[in-house]
Amino acid sequence: MNLFYLIALNGYFAYKNLLNFPRSEAAEAEWQNLIHPKAGDLVLEISNLRWKRYQASPEAALGILLQQTEEPVSTPEEWEDDRPIPNEPVFYLKPLDPAVPHERIRWTNCDFIKVRTDDKEPEDAYATSPGNAGSSAT
């Protein structure tokens, strides 16, 4: 898998998705697929992109999504409130970079996007929607 190709491919599809607004139904489905990755997808953590710690070690942010679940934000011993312990979304990621010392990384308080790994354009995903008759994606 060529990482530079994947970066270019995903940039291209993001660009094409911006050309038409409002989006066609197929383009909207593609967008939803991008922002709601599933287990097994190649993903990139995006909510920490501008933080210095991310820039110093971005390798752990790209990998295969193993699982997304809801887990308590704290242990009962640490919780100092009378209310029930709330849950938060938790993502488990297998880093793509073999140099990352962990086989499975737990992420909280973050957002992931799916990284497209194929260059097949979905049929009609970038077609002009009825509300955008004056534009076309080429």
pTM of structure: 0.73
Counting residues of the chain whose pLDDT is more than 70, the rounded percentage is 73
Q: Please tell me the least confidently modeled range out of 83-92, 100-109, 117-126.
A: 117-126
Give 70-84 pLDDT, tens digit per residue. 999 999 999 999 999
Answer whether residue 118 shows pLDDT above 90.
Answer: no
**What pLDDT does 73 receive?**
93
* pLDDT the model gives residue 61: 83
| Three-state DSSP state, 62 | strand
Mean pLDDT of all residues belonging to the chain: 79
- To the nearest 5 percent, what fractions of the chain are helix, strand and coil? 30, 20, 50
Extended beta strands in the chain, E state: 42-45, 62-72, 87-95, 105-108, 112-114
Peptide bond preceding 130 in cis form (omega within 30 of 0):
no
Q: What distance in Å separates the CA atoms of residue 75 and residue 15, rounded to the nearest whole number? A: 43
**Confidence band for 86, pLDDT divided at 50, 70 and 90:** very high
Residue 85 confidence class, pLDDT cut points 50, 70, 90: very high
Could you report the per-residue pLDDT of 37-78, keeping only the tens digit for each? Answer: 999 999 988 887 666 655 556 677 889 999 999 999 999 999
- Sheet containing 62-72: give its strands across: 105-108, 87-95, 62-72, 42-45, 112-114
Most confident by average pLDDT, 6-10, 32-36, 39-43, 117-121: 39-43
Closest CA to 127 of 137, 112, 117, 116: 137
CA distance linking residue 78 with residue 27, whole number of Å: 45
